[in-house]
Structure formats: structure tokens, C-alpha cells
């Protein structure tokens, strides 16, 4: 999953980025509204953390512009203000959730997990496909209850497929959502990671759809 953090406070931006990266997400960063607007309009993010009080262009204006431009990714808004009117303004602009500063990073992570689940049409934090289970709360993957150790890239790929279970996901989409904007994007690496995941899981749940991409399906399904 690929996220964008738009926050002008360097320390808070770094803390959020570090916590999200440690949780297995790919994170791009922006420090003002204009930069955030551009990235959100041109890159395919799974979710955005957006501060309201930004230089050059405030967060409400950024969000309104995204929604006018047809950008539908979930947005979690941050603000030092706790007035109910600011919350209403954020929701009316198209925000999906709201956190007032100061906050605990664990709460931000939990709210993001919920936004990502809902945007993919899921209600639970655990995803299953046949004997394979992935728990987004702790990044744990098991097969028939036995833990499977995946690298960060392998986990991200499997998690993205799990969030979009039953849908064909192209190699291009996987590359766009698994790597940040500075990564040397080569779709051939996806095939390598898929092969590794299949070997580690020991069950065939990742189907190759020739010419289109990959799709999750239970063994024998």
C-alpha cells in the first residue's frame, strides 16, 4: 500500500513517515499544500494523511481540488484545531476521517487501516484466502495457523492482493502502489516477488492471468 503524508512540520512528517514505513507501507512526503496537491493529482495513492494548516495552500483547498479532479483515495485529515466547525468543514470537503493534534501514532495507524479496509470493501482487519491469513494489525501472515516470514516487499505485494481479493491486478498497478516515486520501477521484479511468495506460502493462491496480471483465489478455486 502506498501512502502520501502532507504535513509541514518536519519532525511530525518524519515521525509519521517512519511509523508508516515500519508498519509496511510505502510513503511519499510533501511539506506544503501545492506539492501535496500535485502529488495527489499525479500519483496513485491508496490513502493520504493531510494536514489542514499548510503553507502555500491549506489542506481544505487541497482536498476540495482533489475531489473536483475525481481523486477518490481515502483522506485522513490532521489539525491542531479541535473545533467542531473545522471537523465539519473537513468532512464536507471530502475527508474520510479526522484526527486532532496531539495524537498517538497508534491511533493514526489504526484509523488508516480502517480506511484502507473500507475502501476495499472489507470490514475486518484480517484477510483470508484459503488457508492463508494476513493480519494487518501486526503484519502477521500464517498458512494453516503456521507463521510465514516475508520480506517487506513480499508482505506489501501480498497485502495489496489480499485487499483486492477476487480482482485481477495488473503488474503496472502493483508497481505503482508498492514503490515510492523515486524507486527504479521495473515490472519484472513483481514476477520475482510473486515467485518467492508462492514458494514461502507453499499453497497456490496467486493465479497468473496471462496478459493481465495476478488474482488471488483459494487453491482449487
Statement: 126-216 belongs to CATH 1.10.10.10: yes
- pLDDT class of 133 with cuts at 50, 70, 90: very high
DSSP-assigned states of every residue in 122-167: --SSEEEETTEEEETTTTEEEETTEEE---HHHHHHHHHHHHTTTS
Q: Is 194 exposed, middle or buried (0-12, 13-18, 19+ CB in 10 A)?
A: buried
Statement: 2-119 belongs to CATH 1.10.10.10: no
Q: Which residues of 148-181 are buried (b: 16+ CB within 10 A; e: fewer)?
A: bebeebbbbbbbbbbbbbeeebebebbbbbbbbe
What integer pLDDT is reported at residue 185 of this predicted model?
57
What integer pLDDT is reported at residue 188 of this predicted model?
73
* Residue with more model confidence, 156 or 184: 156
What integer pLDDT is reported at residue 85 of this predicted model?
78
Q: Stretch 15-31: mean pLDDT, rounded?
A: 94
Strand order in the sheet with 146-148: 126-129, 132-135, 140-143, 146-148
> For the chain, how big is the Rg over CA atoms in Å?
18
- Percentage with pLDDT > 70 across the chain: 94
Q: What is the DSSP letter of 184?
A: -
Q: Stretch 78-97: mean pLDDT, rounded?
A: 84
Domain ranges of the chain: 2-119, 126-216
What integer pLDDT is reported at residue 80 of this predicted model?
78
Q: Stretch 137-152: mean pLDDT, rounded?
A: 92
Q: Stretch 27-47: mean pLDDT, rounded?
A: 96
Q: Stretch 45-61: mean pLDDT, rounded?
A: 95
Q: How many residues does the chain have?
A: 221
What integer pLDDT is reported at residue 95 of this predicted model?
93
DSSP-assigned states of every residue in 72-126: ---EEEEES---HHHHHHHHHHT-SEEEESS--HHHHHHHHHHHHHHHTT--SSE
What integer pLDDT is reported at residue 186 of this predicted model?
62
Encode pLDDT of 161-205 as tens digits: 998 888 999 988 888 888 766 665 565 788 889 999 999 999 989
C-alpha distances (whole Å) from 31 to each of 3, 27, 100, 105 are 14, 13, 18, 19
d(Cα 130, Cα 48) in Å, to the nearest integer?
31
pLDDT reading at 88 higher than 90: no
What integer pLDDT is reported at residue 123 of this predicted model?
66
Q: In the predicted model, what is the mean pLDDT of the chain? A: 90
What integer pLDDT is reported at residue 152 of this predicted model?
87
pTM of the shown model: 0.76
Amino acid at each position: 500500500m502506498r501512502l502520501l503524508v502532507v504535513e509541514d512540520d518536519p519532525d511530525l512528517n518524519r515521525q509519521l513517515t517512519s511509523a508508516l514505513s515500519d508498519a509496511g507501507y510505502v510513503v511519499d512526503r510533501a511539506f506544503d499544500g501545492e506539492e501535496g496537491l500535485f502529488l495527489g493529482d499525479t500519483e496513485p495513492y491508496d490513502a493520504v494523511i493531510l494536514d489542514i494548516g499548510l503553507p502555500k495552500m491549506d489542506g481544505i483547498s487541497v482536498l476540495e481540488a482533489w475531489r473536483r479532479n475525481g481523486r477518490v483515495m481515502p483522506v485522513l485529515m490532521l489539525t491542531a484545531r479541535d473545533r467542531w466547525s473545522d471537523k465539519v468543514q473537513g468532512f464536507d470537503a471530502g475527508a474520510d476521517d479526522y484526527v486532532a493534534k496531539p495524537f498517538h501514532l497508534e491511533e493514526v495507524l489504526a484509523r488508516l487501516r480502517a480506511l484502507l479496509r473500507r475502501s476495499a470493501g472489507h470490514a475486518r482487519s484480517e484477510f483470508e484466502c484459503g488457508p492463508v491469513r494476513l493480519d494487518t494489525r501486526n503484519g502477521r501472515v500464517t498458512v494453516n495457523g503456521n507463521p510465514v516470514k516475508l520480506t517487506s516487499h513480499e508482505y506489501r505485494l501480498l497485502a495489496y492482493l489480499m485487499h483486492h481479493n477476487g480482482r485481477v491486478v495488473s503488474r503496472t498497478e502493483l508497481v505503482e502502489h508498492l514503490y515510492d516515486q523515486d524507486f527504479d520501477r521495473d515490472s519484472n521484479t513483481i514476477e520475482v516477488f510473486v515467485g518467492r511468495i508462492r514458494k514461502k506460502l507453499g499453497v497456490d493462491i496467486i493465479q497468473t492471468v496471462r496478459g493481465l496480471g495476478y488474482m488471488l483465489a483459494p487453491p482449487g478455486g
